[in-house]
């Protein structure tokens, strides 16, 4: 009835805890649709009104998490990449003042667009296969001065110099890793920075039965 049966492997990738085989999606609460409502840069009043509207609608954009710093200026956020891991981080640091000017992340083999002000010298961290960013420490006063980026394989790498109030950022659940960066910037550098976290991508192959007629 219908001829011979066969099987076809269907591959999928999900963000899931390493101990679980249940597919997980991004847990920051924002979806592709919610993120699409948010442009890369908004003035502060418009951004706050948009955040309020999304909250009333029951949606929370991925970059509406805790931000470290005084804030103000132009909003930015890295691209939403649901199919790739962060494999590198590049930070522009101002010469002399050592202020952090602009962060840029690498997804897979491609660098995301530069976010923030221009100028400065480039410093970067390239992650090894299986290496993830698991916590971030930093400091700020009027601007963000310092980031210490820690991974699961080789400790921490520093950008800038410590000055002002210090902070530490961790994922909300064990096993989550850095998936994005957001914040605000002005002409002189970063005025605030925040981070989104999620579980690493896992690849699963499902065998589906096929019937030929």
* Residue 125 covered by a domain: yes
Asked, for residue 211, whether it belongs to a domain, the answer is no
Which of 89, 85, 197 minimizes the C-alpha distance to 130?
85
CA distances from 75 to 1, 65, 181 (A): 61, 13, 11
Q: Are strands 133-140 and 144-151 parallel, antiparallel or unpaired?
A: antiparallel
This prediction's pTM: 0.70
**Sheet order of strands, 74-77 included:** 67-68, 189-198, 177-186, 74-77
53 is a domain residue: no
Which tens digit of pLDDT belongs to each residue from 151-176?
Answer: 999 999 999 999 999 999 999 999 99
CATH of the domain at 157: 2.100.10.30
Number of domains the chain is built from: 1
* Least trusted range by pLDDT, from 26-35, 42-51, 138-147, 170-179: 26-35
**Domain membership flag for residue 138:** yes
Q: E strands of 1-132, at which residues?
A: 5-15, 67-68, 74-77, 86-93, 100-107, 110-111, 121-126
């Amino acid at each position: 009835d219908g001829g011979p049966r066969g099987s076809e492997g269907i591959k999928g990738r999900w963000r899931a805890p390493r101990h679980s085989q249940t597919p997980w999606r991004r847990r920051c609460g924002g979806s592709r649709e919610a993120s699409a409502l948010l442009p890369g840069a908004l003035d502060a009043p418009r951004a706050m009104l948009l955040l309020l509207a999304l909250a009333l609608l029951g949606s929370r954009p991925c970059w509406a998490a805790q931000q470290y710093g005084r804030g103000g200026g132009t909003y930015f956020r890295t691209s939403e990449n649901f199919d790739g891991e962060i494999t590198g981080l590049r930070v522009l640091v101002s010469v002399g003042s050592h202020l952090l000017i602009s962060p840029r992340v690498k997804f897979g083999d491609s660098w995301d667009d530069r976010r923030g002000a221009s100028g400065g010298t480039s410093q970067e961290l390239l992650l090894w296969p299986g290496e993830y960013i698991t916590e971030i420490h930093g400091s700020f006063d009027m601007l963000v001065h310092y980031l210490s980026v820690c991974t699961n394989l080789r400790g921490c790498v520093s950008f800038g110099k410590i000055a002002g109030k210090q902070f530490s950022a961790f994922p909300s659940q064990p096993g989550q890793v850095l998936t994005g960066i957001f914040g605000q910037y002005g002409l002189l550098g970063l005025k605030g920075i925040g981070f989104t976290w999620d579980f690493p991508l896992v690849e699963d192959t499902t065998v589906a039965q096929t019937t030929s007629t």
